[in-house]
Amino acid sequence: MGKYRFETEEHVIFRKSLRNFLQKEAAPNYDSWEQDRLIPKDFWRKLGEMGYLCPQVEEDYGGLGLDFSFGVIISEELERIGSSLVGVGLHNDIVVPYIEAFGSQEQKKRWLPGCITSDFITGIAMTEPGAGSDLANIQTTAIRDDDHYVLNGQKTFITNGINGNLFLVVVKTNPKAEPRHQGISLVMVEEGTPGFSKGRKLDKVGLHAQDTAELYFEDCRIPISNLIGEEGKGFGYLMEKLQQERLVVAISAQIASEDMLEMTMEYVKSRKAFGKSISSFQNTQFKIAEIATKIELGKSFLESLIEDHIAGKEVVTKVSMAKYWLTETAREISIDCMQLHGGYGYMEEYKIARRYRDIPVASIYAGTNEIMKVIISKNLGL
């Protein structure tokens, strides 16, 4: 995206520095990470050393005290390299904010400094084999036993599931609560806790370098000091923070669309058919014009949304619209751009092929697009 209205010289310098870092440390290695099905922890460590992990954390805990606008820049530049870097955004803008917003002083001191250095790599464990968008239906329990909780259950599709060593786990502390969502709480579980184990690294259609795994809890005992916020308030905390999570997904989808347009423009200008460049055909021109228009409309909507979010406004309806529309648009654009690449678009050596397989999941995670439409409809008074 071009320069935002809210960007200062400091933002410009920050973006340039990050882009140079990623061109040196990520771009040359990305293909091998995809083949290895994992981003090495050494890259996480370098991100931490450069100040690109959780820059929003207060300086008291080792952060830079920056606002979400810098997180936007990090999300964009990571997405330009590839969607498999989504785990960094999840750590920075989705999981760590729960500790910042609802954690105690002791919890912040215990975990935040490590989140900034990558000593702690976080994940959020919501989804279960039988519960996705219907969070109130989760079955994982955390039953109080004196000064501990005893966890039992299974989580799946967990981003950072292999590299992660600190997980925000959504549990039922009161399985009999009515309504059901009032029994939900959030707890932190560290790797190495007895009774906590990881399953296989899941083999996905796309996002090959991004580690996704199953997590298991069998009589896993954690101290009650690992409870985030208050017992029974977990569902409310999730609803409060999902706005930013969905905004991050929308930002990534927008950048993916821009990247696909850029690579396709280059390709159609250089590729020849019937003695002239593909870009000279009216069908190509019309398709490119349609794609460019969708991207420009998305950019304007997203910019105003980011500004409102930074200003602390409640933008749940618009965020739901952005998450749904921008991810669907990116998927449509991936199909059109692959078609314009012809047979080469189906080859792994062309980046459009990776975009084509990476994009569909964005309409599923962070709440499916069908759930986004439910939220929009409800908030419209239907």
Active site residue 245: yes
Instruction: Write the pLDDT tens digit of every residue in 232-242.
Output: 999 999 999 99
**156 with 132: CB under 8 angstroms?**
no
Q: pLDDT tens digits, residue range 43-94?
A: 999 999 999 999 999 999 999 999 999 999 999 999 999 999 999 999 999 9
How does DSSP classify residue 173?
S
What is the pairing mode between strands 166-172 and 122-125?
parallel
Strands 141-145 and 122-125 come out as unpaired
The C-alpha angle 369, 371, 374, rounded to 5 degrees, equals: 115
For residue 111, the Cα-to-chain-centroid distance in whole angstroms is 20
Among 34, 76, 245, 258, the active-site one is 245
Locus of tokens 């999300």? 75
**pLDDT tens readout for residues 234-279:** 999 999 999 999 999 999 999 999 999 999 999 999 999 999 999 9
Distance CA 253, CA 255 (A): 5
Tokens coding 171: 């549990």
pTM: 0.94
pLDDT given at position 1: 47
**Amino acid at the residue 207:** L
Distance from C-alpha of 212 to C-alpha of 163, rounded to nearest angstrom: 9
**Is the confidence at residue 33, as pLDDT, over 60?**
yes
